[in-house]
Structure 1
Amino acid sequence: MKAFEATRLFFNQAADQLDLPEELREALLMPDREVQVQVTIRRDNGKLANFVGFRVQHDHSRGPMKGGLRFHPEVDLDETRALASLMTWKTAVVNLPYGGAKGGIGVNPRDLSVAELERLTRAFVDQIHDIVGPDTDIPAPDMGTDHQVMSWFRNQWEKYHGFHPAVITGKPVEEYGAKGREEATGRGVGTLTVKLIKRLGMKADQSKVAIQGFGNVGSHAAKFLHEAQFPIVAVSDISGTYYAENGLNIPELLRHKISHPQGLLEGYEHAERLPLEALLKLDHVDVLIPAALGGVIHEDNVESVHAKVIIEAANGPVHPGADTILHERGVTVLPDILANAGGVTVSYFEWVQNRQHYRWSLDRVRQELDHTMNEAFEDVWQMAGQHNVSLRTAAYMIGITRVKRAAELAGLA
């Protein structure tokens, strides 16, 4: 099943609850604009290399569109379209004045030198600079990009349009970025995990956690949950799964990751190393946090998943068919459009600070983030209880209702 088809299925489950007519569903679901560009750079060896880039702008009913830039080999139009749609519902669920967008380039950034990556970023900006901006579409980091890529992006965009740091978020703090932006998605995941576990009557120190993916999101979520007394028994990255029955030493793991040339867990000796795919199937895991790629839990492996709670730190990690099976088994799934909304929330705070030419303290960023995420969680929890639906369907119902209302008030639907 393709990514946008999966998003459509989740959307329609909520739309059925809301009794939305078919023509309104299509108006809300289909993107406003899709752009595909050729990005050509000269490699360090002097040869030309061609890549395909995308920017999908899904909806602007509630404000400027917002969404990350992903550099990954699997980036294509279908995935970008699905992720742009998810951003629309995500920003609506946490009640930010944004619509959804997404972009990226089909490339493995590990195959490029730093100089080649900079040239690629600047060439991409050359192709799309006229459709993004602080009042129209504001990109941000995603898989395969970071604050350095955002800095290059901003610099290249400003060559065309002049000084305006609010054109992009996730910038370095020295370049008008927000304190706490790098940790934001992982912190939001951690905050809502703690809240959900309490609501389910479980105890932190007795709830074993496994985190698939130990990149920016997974590592910050691990740090937060470790400090909240959760035993984190397994983490994984492309080098494998690292397991300790009584809990891993997360501070030590983080130090190892920082010291590794590629930021990996490879070579870590104080845990049992298992195959990469083993993490999803571990017994005696209470909380599973997929924090890597989408589509990792599907109909073919869902029966091997034993966790009672799944926190979707990644975008779209559970396929619709698997989601139905998990729901029937009584597994609680906190959906991506709520669970990983911490990143876009602090991106909004960064955008606000840039527009006001004023900088917040880290404490204020964290307080505002925690307040926003907790308020959104309460809205979704109450909606799920009132309508006897899953947390995912409840989150989509809230997002769709808010976007629909904005579109109707503007006379567009």
Structure 2
Amino acid sequence: MDNVAHIPSYLSAEHLGPWETYLVQIDRVEPHLAADLRPLAPILTRPKRALIVDVPIRLDNGEMAHFEGYRVQHNLARGPGKGGIRYHPDVTLAEVMALSAWMTVKNAVVNVPFGGAKGGVRVEPKTLSLAELERLTRRYASEINIFLGQDKDIPAPDINTNEQVMAWIMDTFSMNEGKTAMGVVTGKPVSLGGSLGRKDATGRGVFVTTVEAAQRIGMSIAGARVAVQGFGNVGEAAARLFADAGAKVVALQDSTGSIHNPGGLDVRAAKVWSLAHHTLIGAPDSEPIDNADFWGVDADILVAAAMENQITTANAGRIRARLITEGANGPTSPEADLILQERGITVIPDVLANAGGVTVSYFEWVQDISAFFWTEEEINARLDRIMREAFAAVWDAARAKGIALRTAAFVLGCERVLAAHQMRGLYP
């Protein structure tokens, strides 16, 4: 297939970024799809709906500011749209399209009954006061209100958004509906219908899938050296779980820099330091290293839990790890993916590895609808089971077809989506 044929007319080819990465992934997957589903593959290369909104707010100084927001529903064949909302100065329509498409595949890989969606506002939230952030959130929620609903489209936190932002969105939607609608978002505070275990869910999924992969390649987690890029909710939770399992977290990187200790870092102490000083640099028993040198750290496992397009042709050849787990969405470029395959490095793809968050979001949604809530032990047990079963299915498919785990995950997820389209038919 020619990727250019699948570029919407409202996007310029030179600014595709993550969307182009997604299209390349679909190109690589299509030959491996079941023959009867292959003709339906173009469905995956086009979002169902894309909404661009102006988000004007009154700043604390009385001036008006405008921000651009997006909500994209990529595919709804298997259920309502599900995907996070991010606030970041680099948010673009192409990025949100790609993220919504990866949500489509991700939800299908772990077999939760959701389609794929994503949202974002192009803003540097650190420049806004709490009151300005609330006004931005409420106005954005009002603008995308036509998409939202517990049986239509259910947002969740993403980069620079949290349970407070979700609470504001839920409240705004509820005020417009004239009733409390807890199920319209997930990742909420527990006091407003949020689920226990949600905060660590994505990092826990990263940990569980890594343990499963390590067992299959003959690697012991106890004593394994782990490098983690990204030290937010996902990276911090994963690093903590690895340390608790006896692994040595030898390197950490966040937006402020990188630290290293070949004997192992104290993850909890690094978290306390980061919260107090707003940087990892200077954390106890650590040495700062250049960000470029992070990729060459002597480690067995590398967790990429930051942003898209972090592992590229510039650093893929330096990575020493035998196992890479993608805690972020789209952290590996297609070209780097091939380099890693050639080097024999096992990559657990994002659409599988970081699906723990949306899995517990599914649990939260179910609990909100039923008004019956589970214990954290029940949540973790259900999450672990789903992640292990999903990993086993992807691993077995990869071995049976002789393909990489990423391709196998996409085959599994895409076939489930396309089978839903096949059964539903075309209306009208």
Secondary structure of 1:204's aligned partner: coil
- Show the 5 A alignment for 1:183-222: 183-222=200-239
Which among 82, 99, 106 is matched to residue 98 of structure 2? 82
Task: Quote the offset at 1:111 in angstroms.
Answer: 1.2
Which among 270, 286, 311 is matched to residue 297 of structure 1? 311
Distance in 2 separating the partners of 1:132 and 1:30: 20
Distance in 1 separating the partners of 2:38 and 2:327: 31
Judged with a 3 Å threshold, the aligned counterparts in structure 2 of structure 1 residues 16 and 35 are, in CA distance, closer, same or farther, namely: same
- The amino acid that maps onto 2:173 is W
Aligned residue in 1 for 2:405 = 391
Task: Quote the offset at 1:48 in angstroms.
Answer: 1.2
Task: Quote the offset at 1:74 in angstroms.
Answer: 1.0
Aligned residue in 1 for 2:249 = 232
Aligned residue in 1 for 2:149 = 133
Aligned residue in 2 for 1:316 = 330
- The amino acid that maps onto 1:356 is S
Secondary structure of 2:328's aligned partner: coil
1:400 aligned to 2:408?
no
> Could you list the per-position Cα deviations for residues 2-49 of structure 1 after superposition, in whole angstroms to 9, with x for gaps in the alignment?
211111111221111126677522222211000000101111111111
Distance in 2 separating the partners of 1:143 and 1:314: 10
Distance in 1 separating the partners of 2:348 and 2:152: 30
Aligned residue in 2 for 1:122 = 138
1:8 aligned to 2:23?
yes
Task: Quote the offset at 1:258 in angstroms.
Answer: 3.6
- Structure-2-length-normalised TM-score: 0.93
> Could you list the per-position Cα deviations for residues 228-286 of structure 1 after superposition, in whole angstroms to 9, with x for gaps in the alignment?
111110001122111001111122112223434x4x3244242001123321222x211
Is the deviation greater in 38-47 or in 18-27?
Answer: 18-27
Distance in 1 separating the partners of 2:181 and 2:397: 39
Aligned residue in 2 for 1:174 = 191
- Show the 5 A alignment for 1:156-175: 156-161=172-177, 162-175=179-192
Secondary structure of 2:280's aligned partner: coil
Secondary structure of 2:295's aligned partner: helix
Cα pair 1:183 1:217 within 8 Å, conserved: yes
Aligned residue in 2 for 1:145 = 161
Distance in 2 separating the partners of 1:6 and 1:337: 14
1:241 aligned to 2:258?
yes
Give RMSD over aligned pairs.
Answer: 1.4
Cα pair 1:125 1:157 within 8 Å, conserved: yes
Distance in 2 separating the partners of 1:281 and 1:43: 44
Task: Quote the offset at 1:183 in angstroms.
Answer: 0.6
Distance in 1 separating the partners of 2:417 and 2:329: 20
Percent identity between the two aligned chains: 43
Secondary structure of 1:159's aligned partner: helix
Aligned residue in 2 for 1:50 = 66
Unpaired segments ≥5 residues, structure 2 = 1-15
- Show the 5 A alignment for 1:357-396: 357-396=371-410
- The amino acid that maps onto 2:41 is R
Q: How many residues align?
A: 410
Unpaired segments ≥5 residues, structure 1 = none
Which among 266, 288, 291 is matched to residue 276 of structure 1? 291
Task: Quote the offset at 1:308 in angstroms.
Answer: 1.4
Distance in 2 separating the partners of 1:44 and 1:270: 42
Distance in 1 separating the partners of 2:296 and 2:122: 30
- Structure-1-length-normalised TM-score: 0.97
Judged with a 3 Å threshold, the aligned counterparts in structure 2 of structure 1 residues 253 and 41 are, in CA distance, closer, same or farther, namely: same
Distance in 2 separating the partners of 1:257 and 1:192: 27
Task: Quote the offset at 1:130 in angstroms.
Answer: 1.6
- The amino acid that maps onto 1:298 is T
Which among 91, 106, 110 is matched to residue 107 of structure 2? 91
> Could you list the per-position Cα deviations for residues 88-143 of structure 1 after superposition, in whole angstroms to 9, with x for gaps in the alignment?
00000000001000000011111111111101000101101121110000000000
